[in-house]
Chain A
């Protein structure tokens, strides 16, 4: 369906329908989230408005890479391509993670489907995929594969491949953000130290890749455009990574504060947070 004909129609008069099709999942997610928030409100347990707001913004950021002006810009220039990836792979995941969709689902769904969600979150594949090392490899490693192999060249002519890469960027970005700073219940969450170490290495890998792209532009692209794009990748990435670091630190500060209070403010061993305590609180909330 995405053969030469599909490609042709996407660049001429038939552009509109394909864009609509691509936006359907995002609109569906938006409707489900807002309905769940309204149900919470009607049950007298209002869902925080800022979580709904970040979900709306996160969905918009994610969708922007698939259809609309940002997607168009991303096809025209390398800088646009980087801008779209920043939105889809870093900004959108951060906003979506902060919107706590799993917590909202668990609160809203009936017992049986809620149990299914819990089982899914606790399943082995979910645990493996949200392990910080695995998730960081998928997210940042994926970027290395994209820019350091012929894959990037291939995505410029193959619409379906481009779509799959953009989907990977969104999914891997979400898993990575969940692994570092989840607000949803996340069993078997590693210590703050492990997550901070993974964050450190992935920031470094992201920055080094940006400088390599700057130094060795992909073939057939305007060098000045690639250099602008590489710097956008470097500094744009910094901003989101700084936000991730601040969230991770705030979560540590809060959980270690709970421990301090429990210990009657007696100076306790410091160094890393206790994920168990946060998990317990999450489970109580749900």
Chain B
């Protein structure tokens, strides 16, 4: 346990910089995995789908921009918490899982299914891919929320 934990206990987990810093890092890491692994390495996702609506393009653009800023803002928030002696690793980890799960769930439901931005993969039966995508997002989000609830109750 780091010495800063004594002050950490007086913080409210979901209001702490550690939690929000972790959450932003989580969002950015999942956005990065999506971009690097699925767009670039596996090339499952398409850069652009014919017939993508304007709403979907703008939503995708904003989320992409938010992902870029989130990695920077997240680390700076964590550094700031550390500098103030208020670093709280448990809250940061809860934030990371909430961020990972929230991005994945949003990407799998709103972007892939509601807005039809692009699909997980092309030329295959989509159902197992979509189930894996959405279930993994929901699972990560539940882990994060579970960690957060434990911290709040303590």
What chain A residues lie within 8 Å of B50 (beta carbons)?
Answer: 215
Chain B interface residues toward A at CB < 8 A: 17, 47-48, 50, 52, 57-58, 60-62, 64-66, 68-69, 71-73, 75-76, 79-80, 83-84, 86
Q: Map CB proximity to B onto A223-238 as digits: 1 under 8 Å, 0 otherwise.
A: 0000100110010001
Q: How far is the CA of A213 from the CA of B106 in the complex (A)?
A: 26
What chain B residues lie within 8 Å of A280 (beta carbons)?
Answer: none
Tell me whether A165 is interfacial, beta carbon within 8 Å: no
Q: How far is the CA of A77 from the CA of B109 in the complex (A)?
A: 38
Return the contact of B72 from the options A204, A231, A242, A265 (Cβ within 8 A): A242
Q: How near does chain B come to A256, taking the closest CB pair, in angstroms? A: 7
Q: How many chain A residues touch the partner (CB < 8 A)?
A: 33
Return the contact of A208 from the options B58, B69, B79 (Cβ within 8 A): B58
Q: How far is the CA of A256 from the CA of B80 in the complex (A)?
A: 9
B68 touches A242 (CB 8 A): yes
Q: How far is the CA of A234 from the CA of B46 in the complex (A)?
A: 14
Q: How far is the CA of A250 from the CA of B68 in the complex (A)?
A: 15
Tell me whether A214 is interfacial, beta carbon within 8 Å: yes
A245 touches B17 (CB 8 A): no
B62 touches A204 (CB 8 A): yes
A253 touches B48 (CB 8 A): no
What chain A residues lie within 8 Å of B17 (beta carbons)?
Answer: 270
A212 touches B57 (CB 8 A): yes
Please judge, given known A-B contacts A208-B58, A257-B83, A267-B84, whether A215 and B65 are in contact too, CB under 8 Å: no
Q: How near does chain B come to A86, taking the closest CB pair, in angstroms? A: 16
Return the contact of A270 from the options B47, B48, B64, B80 (Cβ within 8 A): B80
What chain A residues lie within 8 Å of B71 (beta carbons)?
Answer: 242
